[in-house]
A and B are shown apart, each in its own frame.
Chain A
Amino acid sequence: GAGVSQSPRYKVAKRGQDVALRCDPISGHVSLFWYQQALGQGPEFLTYFQNEAQLDKSGLPSDRFFAERPEGSVSTLKIQRTQQEDSAVYLCASRPPGNEQFFGPGTRLTVL
């Protein structure tokens, strides 16, 4: 079956632009996670959804970051007024009622 998909795969933004990153989880997966992976680092947790409810957004680095999952399936991570420090790979993962998370290929964001 299809895995987690993310779009776009690559995004270049000028500083100050708003961007929206999309995640399509595996069908039926209740849990959805967003992570940020800086160059040379491991992924770091941003936010967690259970169905449409955002249960934890403690990892979002600033109020410029916003995530939603209005119908409990597709999720969007939005970054307003992008800054150079936002440049990273943004990974989405979904999880069935088990324990391992399944990751998408990521969106590489470059802010110029």
Chain B
Amino acid sequence: AQSVAQPEDQVNVAEGNPLTVKCTYSVSGNPYLFWYVQYPNRGLQFLLKYITGDNLVKGSYGFEAEFNKSQTSFHLKKPSALVSDSALYFCAVRDGNSGYALNFGKGTSLLVTP
């Protein structure tokens, strides 16, 4: 079984400040972890993934995420937020040993204010 928890329904941050969107996971095998962003009336856009290797993963639009095996976390970060980053963010996991479908969290709404 696999699951993802995104403990915050909404994150508010001022433009130019760093942002963090939290994600913790549970998976029986090797965790393959993903972040997607969803803008209104649009599908999910891939941001970044962790499969293996360096725990710090860099992705699109200046986002990065840190894989922490001991804390089973994969928090999304950005050093300096933009108003245009305001969107819905989803963390997802799949079991790298045997899975194929993604298991998503419920999403975190990010609001960046000018």
Determine whether B102 belongs to the interface, using a CB cutoff of 8 Å to chain A. yes
Question: In the docked arrangement, what's the CA distance between A44 and B3, Å?
Answer: 11
Place the interface of chain B in its size category. Answer: 20 to 34
Contacting pair B90 A105 (CB below 8 A): no
Choose the segment among B12-20, B36-44, B62-70, B73-81 that binds chain A (4+ C-beta atoms closer than 8 Å).
B36-44
Question: In the docked arrangement, what's the CA distance between A35 and B22, Å?
Answer: 23
Q: Given A40-B106, A41-B107, is A91 in contact with B44 using a C-beta cutoff of 8 Å?
A: yes
Question: In the docked arrangement, what's the CA distance between A4 and B44, Å?
Answer: 11
Contacting pair B46 A102 (CB below 8 A): yes
Place the interface of chain A in its size category. Answer: 20 to 34
Q: How many A-B residue pairs have CB under 8 A?
A: 52
Chain A, residues 37-64, CB within 8 Å of chain B (1/0): the string is 0001111110010000000100100000
Contacting pair A33 B101 (CB below 8 A): yes
Question: A31, A35, A101, A105: which has the most chain B beta carbons within 10 Å?
Answer: A101
Determine whether B61 belongs to the interface, using a CB cutoff of 8 Å to chain A. no
Contacting pair B101 A45 (CB below 8 A): yes
